[in-house]
Structure 1
Amino acid sequence: MTVQFYWYPKCGTCRKAKKWLDEHQVDYEAIHIVDNPPSKAELKSIIDKSGLPYKKFFNTSGKKYRELGLKDKLKDATEDEMLDYLTSDGMLLKRPLSVGEDQVTIGYKEETFEQTWN
């Protein structure tokens, strides 16, 4: 199984996660999250697979998130509207986003990677 690893190379957390995948010899495909963000259909499928709420997929500490005032806009947004936001700009997606056959992890926590990708 190859993990789809959506990442931003300048992101320190993404680099740590990539290093972990390399050290544990996890087979992955690195995808630049800004140059090649997932399509709306792909992202919907990823979110559904994760079982997590849509809001968890937003990079809430990002500049773009603040500029767009999404904190307030998301309160009443539908899932479809949230997908539109998330797919409009790769910088709005929380990263790294790692997608396997049946698993999805957002961000990087060593324990979570241990349990999910080892």
Structure 2
Amino acid sequence: MTVMMYWYPKCGSCQKAKKWFEAHNVALEAVHIVENPPSKELLKDFYEKSGLELKKFFNTSGIKYRELGIKDKVKTATEDELLELLASDGMLIKRPIITDGKRITVGFNEEQFEKAWL
């Protein structure tokens, strides 16, 4: 499967990730996370395959995260409610999310990228 990158073009971490993939000659298919946010089902698949806590999928530095008081909601909401919330707005999702259908990385971490994508 193609390596897919769910990103927001103005995001610094997303730009760094894109440059990293270009420098390592890894072809990417980029998906604008705000214009085409991943569905609840797709987010659930990412979450299950990533091995990360669901709260790691939230863009905790985002304005909407703070405006909606999600920090408190994460503590008591069900997995289904959190996935619904994430799927409702691409700006709530930590980015970039990169996947080839088997592996998933969330955010940009060069060391993590070297292990996962080279």
Q: TM-score range by the shorter chain?
A: over 0.9
Q: For this pair of structures, how many residues does the alignment match?
A: 118
Q: Counterpart in 2 of 1:57?
A: 57
Instruction: Compute the TM-score of the two structures, normalised by the length of structure 2.
Output: 0.96
Write the distance in 2 (CA, Å) between the matches of 1:53 and 1:16. 24
Write the distance in 1 (CA, Å) between the matches of 2:74 and 2:111. 29
Could you say what secondary structure the match of 1:6 adopts?
strand
Instruction: Compute the TM-score of the two structures, normalised by the length of structure 1.
Output: 0.96
Q: Counterpart in 1 of 2:20?
A: 20
Structure 1 residue identity aligned to 2:39:
S
Structure 2 residue identity aligned to 1:81:
E
Write the distance in 2 (CA, Å) between the matches of 1:41 and 1:26. 26
Q: Counterpart in 2 of 1:113?
A: 113
User: Which structure 1 segments of 5+ residues have no match?
Assistant: none
CA apart distance, 1:28: 1.5
Root mean square deviation of aligned Cα: 0.8
Write the distance in 2 (CA, Å) between the matches of 1:12 and 1:61. 13
Spell out structure 1 runs of 4+ moving beyond 6 A: none
Could you say what secondary structure the match of 1:74 adopts?
helix
User: Which structure 2 segments of 5+ residues have no match?
Assistant: none
Write the distance in 1 (CA, Å) between the matches of 2:50 and 2:84. 18
CA apart distance, 1:4: 1.0
1:1-118 correspondence to structure 2 within 5 Å: 1-118=1-118
Sequence identity (%): 63
CA apart distance, 1:33: 0.5
